[in-house]
Amino acid sequence: MSDLVDGIHLTFETNSMLATKIFQDTTHLYTLSTDKHGSTTSLLVAGTDTLIAKMERKELFPDTVAFPGSQLNNGKAKQVKKWLRPTLVAEGVRAYTIEMTPGNFFLLRHPQYRLALYTPDLQEIIAHWLVETKDSPLRLVIASDTEKAAFPQIIAAFVYEEQNMRVVEKHDIVAGRTPAFRVRVDYPFLGMLPHTGEVNLAALAGSRQGNAWQ
C-alpha cells in the first residue's frame, strides 16, 4: 500500500536500473539505457533521442550527473556528491539533500519502501518505490502535484541510489552475509516512519559501504 494514494505511478517494465522502459498507465514516457561498459546510464524521452538525465560512474574521478535542457548547472555535468549532498537529518541517520523548487528535499532509505523522498520539513513523502507483491512490477510513485519538470531529477536520484544499494546487496550475498538492507532493527526515527523495519545498519551508523555514500 502506498502513502501516495492518488500519486502518479511510473511503472518500470523490468526490474532493472540499467535498461528498461518507464510507463505511466499504458503510456511509454521514458527509456532508461546503459552503455556496454556499464558506466553511463541515460534517461531519454520515449521514442526520441532527447536526453533528460545522464549519470556517469568513474573509476578515478567523482561520479557526475547532468540534466540537459534544465536550469540545473545549465544542463552541464556536475559531481553527484554536489547534487545528491550527504546530510545528517537525525543522530546516526543519513539522507541525501536534493535542491528543487520550493526547497531542499531529502532522499532517505526507508524500512517499507527502500527509498523515499521527503518534503523540506521531513513531514511528508512525495515519492517512493512500490512493489506490492513479488510478482508486481517495480513502480516509482510520485505525488500528483509534483511538477513534471522535476521528474528527471527524481527518477535519476532513485535509480542512482538503487544501483548503489543493489551493488552492496550483491556483495553481501556473495560473501555469505545477510544483505545490508534486509536487517531487522528498531527504527525510532521521526514520527512518520514505522518503528521497526528493514534498513541498512551501516547507513544508520554513517558507514561507507561500496559506493553507497559519496
Give tens-digit pLDDT for 95-110. 999 988 778 999 999 9
Query: Residue 214 falls within a domain, yes or no?
Result: no
Residue of 136 and 61 predicted with greater confidence: 61
User: Which residue in this structure is represented by grid cell 505525488?
Assistant: 143
Residue 50 lies in a domain: yes
pLDDT, tens only, 146-203? 999 999 999 999 999 999 998 888 877 887 887 666 543 333 333 333 333 333 333 3
- Residue range of the domain that includes 28: 8-204
Evaluate whether residue 145 is within a structural domain: yes
Task: Count how many domains the chain has.
Answer: 1
Predicted pLDDT of residue 180: 63
Residue 138 domain-assigned?
A: yes
Has residue 25 got a pLDDT over 60? Answer: yes
Instruction: Identify the CATH number of the domain in which residue 68 sits.
Output: 2.40.160
Cβ contact 20:30 at 8 Å: no
Q: In 3D, which of 103, 165, 54, 105 has the Cα closest to residue 95? A: 105
